[in-house]
Chain A
Amino acid sequence: MIREQRNLILNTLTIVLLFVILWLFDRYGTDYQIRILNNIAVFITLAVSYNLINGICGVLNLGPNAFITIGAYTSALLTMSPAEKKISFIIEPLIWPLNVIQLPFGASLVVAGIVATVFAFFISYPVFRVRGDYLAIVTLGFGEVVRVLCNALQNITNGPLGLKGLKPYTNLWWSWGIAVLTIIIVQRLINSSWGRAMKAIREDETAAKAMGIDPFRHLLLAFLISAFFSGVAGGLLAHLITTISPTLFTFFLTFNLLMIIVVGGLGSTTGAVIGATLFAWGNEALRFVESPMQIGPLHIPGIPGMRMVIFSIILMVVIIFARKGIMGQREFSWDWIFSKIRSQRI
């Protein structure tokens, strides 16, 4: 049969298989496993949307935490009931109309994404006036500005007290459903003419301009889509941990995302997925280097903080020796699998 049909069927089957596995975990898995799976899904969404702007467009954005923060707060403020808001905002009351609105979870995620996108739109002009290092620093600056504002605007965000008691709406279906949606939409974009234009801009912006591509329009689109999904992921995150505050969204989060897409392969959605999975799972699995270990007669005391040292080393090793990461810029494709199978047969 035709390649496209075959791919479509295979992709659909994979998604169905994924949901069957999720259902099994939902019914029979432990809380710990479910939590890690949720973490993986949220980080996949974050990584894939972050990769769109960093990897595909080649624009180093160091402020994704701004979008995540905005999404998290928007979603949280919309799902809390007016009574809950009154209890939480003990220093300064929440402004109208936020103190009376309440929306269901799904709607709040959509609004979260939209608000993040609007913010991205407003800052896109200053951000894309510059390139390279300067752009990186400008986005870093915006990331910090948003965090400081969240801390200071007590009548909107409750300042350093943050919001607590959020209902844990995020379950395996929401988190993975959105992750799958993000992957599909981002891949569609990448495989379209828009995506090809973005890659052209990444490789050589001047040449792309000469070919008639308007960099600003394409970068703006990538930026907005990236912001949308980051905002939604922020909402998911908020309802996973059930409490948020400005300290949650520092440069540390950006560093984690950067590490994920670099190790996975800058420019590859598959790489982002792999990187996110390794990170979310590895973060927990590596805890053993921080707890006391008994190797034969040797008792090694636990050293907290070793995980971060290891992650920093991994990032540097990858960027220096294996700049392409795991996947480089290649994507997973069914063609590759079939060619492998065929070559085995021979």
Chain B
Amino acid sequence: MNIQIFIQQLINGFTLGSLYGLVAIGYTMVYGILRLINFAHGDLLMVATYVVIYGMALFSLPWYLSFPLAVMVTGIVGILLDRVAYKPLRDAPRISLLISAIGASFLLENLALVIIGGVPKPFPRPPIFDKVIDIYGVKVQVLTIYTPITTIILLLGLLYIVHNTKVGKAMRAASRDFETTRLMGINLDRVIALTFMIGSSLAAAGGIMWAMKYPQVNPFMGIIPGLKAFIAAVLGGIGSIPGAVIGGFVLGIGEVLIVAVFPGLAQYRDAFAFLVLILLLIFRPTGIMGEAIVDKT
């Protein structure tokens, strides 16, 4: 494998990794505060892409309106998800929350299937993102460059909010100690709703960019990216926002490089990701950037 192809693969891995990272941020934020693995998070990706498709097809909105619309709608869906599936179970045992999350995920997928149908739809990629440029003989899509840049910008924006605003402080407090934050008079419900909104919006952004790179959309498209994003979040240290992005990059690059070096292993790709997860959870559950999470069971 020559150096050109290696660099190509590295760039691909970087892009894939930034997509995982964007979605992983939402997972890690929700887990940080609620200690809940939001199984339905991956499906929010799917919701965003369908909003774009319908926005552009039904209402003929140009892409620079459809995309923000999709992000907003998904943010609202995220808040609704919390309201309906998780808020009533605030004081319930963790197993109930997990089950509710699984139920919500299946519900979203099957509702999409019933309403929209199972036939995959093409995603309308705006022509400006179609260009392919040539760097020293390596053909690179502009999208491959925009995606990580967008991810990093969003990440920096988020970190600013979390560390430099009052709301961010409240979120950090809630993830540190749920009960005490409540006693301090902070409206936890609002904080949680905001967390879901931000996390879902980021997932929406990730979903839109994912669909631009792999332009076909179906009701179950969010399952695998969702699971991989979760693995990325754990890899980077669950609860840590920069960790989620770093974990995403590690997972994305690792996945692509392994298959590039050993093409015969391509069919084991997903299994490989899970094995990484299992080993990680056993030997270093705090991940790369992780804060030591006291096991409250």
Most chain A CB atoms below 10 A, which of B35, B99, B275: B99
- Complex Cα distance, B230 from A141, in Å, reads 12
The residue that A316 contacts in the complex, of B95, B103, B113, B274, with Cβ under 8 A, is B103
**Given the interface contacts A142-B278, A262-B99, does A133 sit within 8 Å of B94 by beta carbon?**
yes
Interface residues of A in 78-132 (CB under 8 A from B): 126, 129-132
The residue that B107 contacts in the complex, of A262, A266, A316, with Cβ under 8 A, is A316
Stretch at the interface among A233-241, A269-277, A300-308: A300-308
The interface bits of chain B over 270-297 (1 if a CB of A lies within 8 angstroms of the residue's CB, else 0) are 1100110110011001000000000101
B263 at the A interface (CB under 8 A): no
A137 and B37 within 8 A (CB): yes
Q: Which residue of A lies closest to B36 (CB)?
A: A133
A60 and B98 within 8 A (CB): yes
- Complex Cα distance, B281 from A191, in Å, reads 34
- Complex Cα distance, B173 from A245, in Å, reads 49
The residue that B103 contacts in the complex, of A134, A305, A312, with Cβ under 8 A, is A312
A219 at the B interface (CB under 8 A): no
B107 and A151 within 8 A (CB): no
Query: Which secondary structure characterizes the binding site on chain B?
Result: helix
The residue that B274 contacts in the complex, of A133, A144, A309, with Cβ under 8 A, is A144
* B-chain residues with CB within 8 Å of residue A129 when the two chains form the complex: 281-282
* B-chain residues with CB within 8 Å of residue A132 when the two chains form the complex: 94, 295, 297
A138 and B281 within 8 A (CB): yes
* B-chain residues with CB within 8 Å of residue A255 when the two chains form the complex: 102, 106
- Complex Cα distance, B234 from A309, in Å, reads 30
* B-chain residues with CB within 8 Å of residue A309 when the two chains form the complex: 107, 110-111, 114
B137 at the A interface (CB under 8 A): no
* B-chain residues with CB within 8 Å of residue A312 when the two chains form the complex: 103-104, 106-107, 110
A341 at the B interface (CB under 8 A): no
* A-chain residues with CB within 8 Å of residue B100 when the two chains form the complex: 316, 319-320
Task: Number of A interface residues at 8 Å Cβ cutoff, please give it.
Answer: 42
The residue that A315 contacts in the complex, of B95, B99, B281, with Cβ under 8 A, is B99
Most chain A CB atoms below 10 A, which of B88, B106, B277, B282: B106
- Complex Cα distance, B35 from A212, in Å, reads 30
- Complex Cα distance, B103 from A304, in Å, reads 19
Interface residues of B in 88-128 (CB under 8 A from A): 88-89, 92, 94-96, 98-100, 102-104, 106-107, 110-111, 113-114
* B-chain residues with CB within 8 Å of residue A185 when the two chains form the complex: none
- Complex Cα distance, B278 from A133, in Å, reads 12
A145 and B114 within 8 A (CB): no
Q: How far is the CB of A123 from chain B (nearest CB, A)?
A: 9
The interface bits of chain A over 246-285 (1 if a CB of B lies within 8 angstroms of the residue's CB, else 0) are 0000000001001100100010000000000000000000
Most chain B CB atoms below 10 A, which of A58, A131, A319, A323: A319
A130 and B275 within 8 A (CB): no
A313 and B107 within 8 A (CB): yes
The residue that A323 contacts in the complex, of B92, B104, B295, with Cβ under 8 A, is B92
A148 and B281 within 8 A (CB): no
* A-chain residues with CB within 8 Å of residue B270 when the two chains form the complex: 144, 148
A286 at the B interface (CB under 8 A): no
- Complex Cα distance, B104 from A247, in Å, reads 23
B282 and A148 within 8 A (CB): no
A10 at the B interface (CB under 8 A): no
B267 at the A interface (CB under 8 A): yes
* B-chain residues with CB within 8 Å of residue A308 when the two chains form the complex: 106, 110, 113
B85 at the A interface (CB under 8 A): yes
* A-chain residues with CB within 8 Å of residue B285 when the two chains form the complex: 130, 134
A151 and B111 within 8 A (CB): no
* B-chain residues with CB within 8 Å of residue A26 when the two chains form the complex: none
- Complex Cα distance, B102 from A311, in Å, reads 12
B104 and A134 within 8 A (CB): no
Q: Which residue of B lies closest to A125 (CB)?
A: B282
* A-chain residues with CB within 8 Å of residue B107 when the two chains form the complex: 309, 312-313, 316
**Given the interface contacts A309-B110, A312-B107, A319-B103, does A133 sit within 8 Å of B268 by beta carbon?**
no
A319 and B99 within 8 A (CB): yes
A58 and B281 within 8 A (CB): no
* A-chain residues with CB within 8 Å of residue B277 when the two chains form the complex: 137-138, 141
The interface bits of chain B over 72-97 (1 if a CB of A lies within 8 angstroms of the residue's CB, else 0) are 00000000000011001100101110
A-B contacts besides A309-B107, A315-B102, 17 pairs, CB < 8 Å: A58-B95, A131-B297, A134-B285, A136-B37, A136-B98, A141-B274, A148-B271, A255-B102, A255-B106, A308-B106, A312-B110, A313-B107, A316-B84, A316-B85, A316-B107, A319-B96, A321-B88
- Could you list 12 A-B pairs, sorted by A, with CB under 8 Å? A133-B98, A134-B285, A138-B277, A144-B271, A144-B274, A145-B274, A148-B270, A205-B297, A255-B102, A266-B95, A308-B106, A312-B106
Residues of B within 8 A of A (CB): 35, 37, 84-85, 88-89, 92, 94-96, 98-100, 102-104, 106-107, 110-111, 113-114, 230, 234, 267-268, 270-271, 274-275, 277-278, 281-282, 285, 295, 297
The 8 closest A-B pairs by CB, nearest first: A141-B274, A312-B107, A148-B271, A315-B103, A316-B103, A305-B114, A308-B110, A312-B106
